[in-house]
Amino acid sequence: MMNKVMIYAALLMVLILPTSNAETITMATTNWQPFQGEDLPQYGFTVVIAQQALARKGHTMTIDFLPWARAMRAVKEGYYHGLFNPWKNADIEQDYYFSQEILGRGDGHFLAMPTSEKYGLSPEDLKGQVVGFVRGYPVSDELIALFESGAATKREVTTVTQLIKLLKFGRIDVILENYLVAQHHFKSEWPDQTFDLKVIGKDSVDGSLYIGWSKQKTDFERLRDDFDSAIREMHEDGTIEIIRQQFGINDVDIQSANSD
């Protein structure tokens, strides 16, 4: 009888342990469709990926959409567990404990009209060009040097839609924006038209999308390890690709644009 009790107790511990450290994980971010947005189904495909990853480790996840500067500050001060989908760079890396795995890539692409014959451009190749981007958008040191030297001209605006209009009217030569983001804004503004801007290159800023865990939370290392482990599992079993397909996110669009 005692042996049966011990066996049942052991089984009960096995069942309890995986969720004994379960938490409600709070994230802060800003709207950046189609990666994440409060107007998107289920808040976007990267949110669904993160929620499913944390659920595999027994956690639930909530997310608030704030102005980006406010979101960064709130996570840094410990009001949230994580900053959702930041790019990692030397300026902010010291403030957060970054995940090793990423939720996707939000690289800044050089976009031009479909008639452009340019292809495979790096920042240094934009000499003599007028480059448009949304004010505050991360720009590489190489591109900043071109602007400061006068070798290239920058045009800053407040929305992606403004960039597309300027490009079509010939006021700028190149847009610096992620292809999927530009595509989303185009389809939202002109749903009956075909998005045909062409990727002619990419800026050198790393656009990998991480979780920046708050160092003010005592368990940030364990949460990061849980997240990273689950993301690797989801890559191996194909879950991430299934989610991307469900949301219509397909990098073939970018590959096709590059091959034209």
Extents of the domains making up the chain: 24-106+207-252, 109-202
Return the structure tokens found at 191.
Answer: 């749903």
The arrangement of secondary structure in 109-202, i.e. its CATH architecture, is 3-Layer(aba) Sandwich (3.40)
- Rounded to the nearest angstrom, the gap between the alpha carbon of residue 122 and the centroid of all alpha carbons in its chain is 21
- Report residue 71: phi and psi, to 5°: -65, -45
Q: Residues with Cβ < 8 Å from 117, sequence gap 6 or more?
A: none
Whole-number pLDDT of residue 162: 98
Whole-number pLDDT of residue 22: 80
Q: How close are the terminal C-alpha atoms of the chain, in Å?
A: 74
pTM of the model: 0.83
pLDDT in tens, the chain (260 residues): 444 444 343 444 434 444 447 889 999 999 999 999 999 999 999 999 999 999 999 999 999 999 999 999 999 999 999 999 999 988 888 999 999 999 999 999 999 999 999 999 999 999 999 999 999 899 999 999 999 999 999 999 999 999 999 999 999 999 999 999 999 999 999 999 999 999 999 999 999 999 999 999 999 999 999 999 999 999 999 999 999 999 998 764 454 444 44
Strand partners, 3: none
- Report residue 233: phi and psi, to 5°: -60, -40
- The fourth-level CATH superfamily of domain 24-106+207-252 is Periplasmic binding protein-like II (3.40.190.10)
- Rounded to the nearest angstrom, the gap between the alpha carbon of residue 14 and the centroid of all alpha carbons in its chain is 36
Whether the Cβ atoms of residue 231 and residue 101 lie closer than 8 Å to each other = yes
Whole-number pLDDT of residue 251: 63
Would 24-106+207-252 and 109-202 be classified into the same CATH topology? yes
